[in-house]
Amino acid sequence: MRLLILLSIFLQIANTQRSRMMRRSTEILRDLDFSEIVYSVHIDNVGSLIARAEESNNRIKELREPSEFKSIVGTFPRYDEVVAWMNETSQLYPDLASTFSIGYTVLGRPMQILKLGLNGGNKWRVWMDAGVHAREWLAPTTAIYIADQLIQGYVNSDPEVLNYLSFLDFEILAVANPDGYEFCFTDDRLWRKNRRPITTDCTGVDLNRNFGFEWGGVGASANPCDNTYMGPYAESEREVLNIINHVLPESQKYIWYMAYHTWGELFFTRWDYTSDVPPDHVERLDLAQRTVNAINQVNGEIYLAGTAPELMYAFSGSSSDWSRGTANINYPYLVELRDSDGSYGFVAPPEEIIPCGAENWAGAKIILNDIIANYGGTTPP
Ligand SMILES: *[C@@H]1O[C@H](CO)[C@@H](O)[C@H](O)[C@H]1NC(C)=O
Ligand SMILES: [Zn+2]
For residue 69, what pLDDT is reported?
61
Low-confidence ranges of the chain (pLDDT < 50): 1-7, 9-22, 24-43
**Which listed ligand is nearest to 100 at the C-alpha?**
1
Q: How far is the CA of 87 from the centre of ligand 1 (A)?
A: 6
Query: Which amino acids bring their CB within 6 angstroms of ligand 1?
Result: 80, 83-84, 87
Rounded CA separation 172/130 (Å)? 8
Which residues have a Cβ under 8 Å from the Cβ of 21 and sit 6 or more positions away? Answer: none
Q: How far is the CA of 94 from the centre of ligand 2 (A)?
A: 33
For residue 68, what pLDDT is reported?
53
CA distances from 165 to 123, 141, 238, 244, 345 (A): 10, 21, 30, 24, 34
Q: Is the peptide bond before 124 cis (omega within 30 degrees of 0)?
A: no
Rounded CA separation 294/221 (Å)? 36
For residue 21, what pLDDT is reported?
45
**Which listed ligand is nearest to 89 at the C-alpha?**
1
Q: How far is the CA of 107 from the centre of ligand 2 (A)?
A: 21
Rounded CA separation 323/321 (Å)? 5
Which residue has its alpha carbon closest to ligand 1 atom 13? 84
Beta bridge partners of residue 336, listed in sequence order: 261, 266
Rounded CA separation 37/19 (Å)? 23
Nearest to 323 by CA among 153, 206, 208: 208
Which residue has its alpha carbon closest to ligand 1 atom 2? 87
For residue 136, what pLDDT is reported?
98
Q: How far is the CA of 88 from the centre of ligand 1 (A)?
A: 9
| Stretch (H or E) spanning 172 | strand 168-173
Residue 177 contacts residue 239 (beta carbons within 8 Å): yes
For residue 291, what pLDDT is reported?
98
Rounded CA separation 158/152 (Å)? 8
Catalytic residues: 336
Integer-rounded Cα Rg, in Å, for the chain is 20
DSSP string spanning 79-128?
HHHHHHHHHHHHHH-TTTEEEEEEEE-TTS-EEEEEEE-SS-SS-EEEEE
For residue 70, what pLDDT is reported?
67
Residue 142 contacts residue 260 (beta carbons within 8 Å): yes
At residue 171, what are phi and psi to the nearest 5 degrees? -115, 115
Nearest to 150 by CA among 166, 130, 132: 166
**Where do the domains of the chain lie, and which CATH numbers do they carry?**
22-375 (3.40.630.10)
pTM: 0.89
Which of 68, 83, 98 for mutating ligand 1's site (highest number of atoms within 8 Å of CB)? 83
Nearest atom in ligand 1 to the alpha carbon of residue 80 is 13
**Which listed ligand is nearest to 101 at the C-alpha?**
1
The per-residue pLDDT for range 312-371, each reduced to its tens digit, is 999 999 999 999 999 999 999 999 999 999 999 999 999 999 999 999 999 999 999 999
Burial track 116-131 (b if 16+ CB lie within 10 A, e otherwise): bbbeeeebbbbbbbbb
Rounded CA separation 97/99 (Å)? 7
